[in-house]
Structure 1
Amino acid sequence: MSTLRGRGTVEGLPQWDRCAVMGVVNVTPDSFSDGGRWFDTTAAVKHGIDLVAQGADLVDVGGESTRPGASRVDEDEELRRVVPVVRGLAAEGVTVSVDTMRARVARQALAAGAVLVNDVSGGLADPDMVPSVAAAQAPFVVMHWRGFLADIHARPAYEDVVSEVVDELHARVAAAIDGGIAPERIVIDPGLGFSKDAEHDLALLAHLNRLHTLGRPVLVAASRKRFLGRVLAGPEGAPPPARERDAATAAVSAIAAHQGAWAVRVHEVRATADAVRVARAVTGAAGEAGAQ
């Protein structure tokens, strides 16, 4: 399958001739990866601008940690964290995504200049999310999600993880469309690390082509996640800290780009920006060779 056919485009967003790079700005004190580093609004805006300079095509701003065991932040506090950063980045011409499960946060972030809503619950956490995104005619990321990590139903349990994730994403995409979001504005995300063990994450990465059967662009968010720590540690060793998984993240970015991902979401941008450009060059060379 052609990687370009798999990649697709998203109405309402720029078009790129390769896998896009989404840089992460966590405006939280407790992110698993970089909690507290960009908690100040000025520092967060500067970091987002730096990510663009390093090769990010868009920047995802989030004010609520989704790490295992994290408590939900108060909605007003999430707004206080997120909206000024979105406004500051948008004023600098940055393409901004908001990472939130709350409709009110999504609405205010869109009003402040965000152009994409990235909801890790796929619209399940807040019943007002899909109607709000539909009313704003904004692009929407639907991630595979089985509930908050404290819920028993969110624990990893699959007979066939790839088939089940595809089926459950299909249901969420259908619900989003029924709720008024245009199909051309929907992105899907397999939800690596959410209600999944390392072997589940690896299986999904190995079969990204199955997600393309849903007919929507695919976002892969593997950056610094636990399954990479497990792979790097080997059978006996301790997993390296999150910030020591960036080379492995770039490797996943190259794999995802080669398999037709629309975008990859990463904390450290420069290596992944290089990786997706190399993947695009290799794909282009393969196409030229096949045409001869």
Structure 2
Amino acid sequence: MALRSMRKARGCWSFIRALHEGPKTVPAPQVSEHTQLNWILTCMIKIPRLQHLHQWKVKTAQQKQEGTAGLLMYPVLQAADILLYKSTYVPVGEDQVQHMELVQDLARGFNKKYGEFFPVPTSILTPMKKVKSLRDPSAKMSKSDPNKMATISITDSPEEIVKKFRKAVTDFTSEVTYDPVGRPGVSNMLAIHAAVTGLTVEEVVRRSVGIDTAHYKLLVAEAVIEKLAPIKRELEKLKQNKDYLEKVLQAGSAKAKELAYPVCQEVKKLVGFL
């Protein structure tokens, strides 16, 4: 009896405190269906299948240690993100082709066991080329690269971008030529320059006649800075408008929840959770 009275009193004080503190920001709806479907799909896949994926091999080799379970299972979460909304077409880059094959295999495996439920999505290969690392032109540029000098971020300052391009790996030949096999570092500079200017690589090479590679790297840095400038301005503008960002987040989360919840519930019924 005394315990119940204490709980009531505690509840009254919590209510009074809430009134004095005023309204708080309404949290965005949490879309937990992604992790729920991820767990169900994880139970349907064999570990060797995931260890066969190219990115798992690359990441574990880069880390020079045993990979984590999260890294191993991440492609299954990607699959859940796609299948949860019953996507039929998914644009992917070359480095995600294997992951899309996994998504397709999981959809087929689920349908074979529980009936035709998920559409098997078709991958649409995007023409976007890989940007190579500034420190290792044999590898792609990656935000997870432990060497921060290898990657250009949208939020990098102009000074940081210039510094990274100054230290970018090229070679000891001063002429600017495109030869991805023989001169991967310089060729990477040309590919980046062409991408941010909209020019072809051949046109960039023609415009760079007579410029040595040291000076050319600075030209590429300037072109990247110019390309990123309006994006950075928009980011700063959005960061100053937190109310707007919260509204977008809440609206997006609510819409995702609306779409994801019935699909996840049906999956749980099919597998016997409900």
User: What TM-score, normalized by structure 1, do the two folds share?
Assistant: 0.26
User: What TM-score, normalized by structure 2, do the two folds share?
Assistant: 0.27
Q: Comparing both structures, which one devotes a greater share of its residues to helix? A: 2
Structure with the bigger RCO (C-alpha within 8 Å, sep 6+) is 1
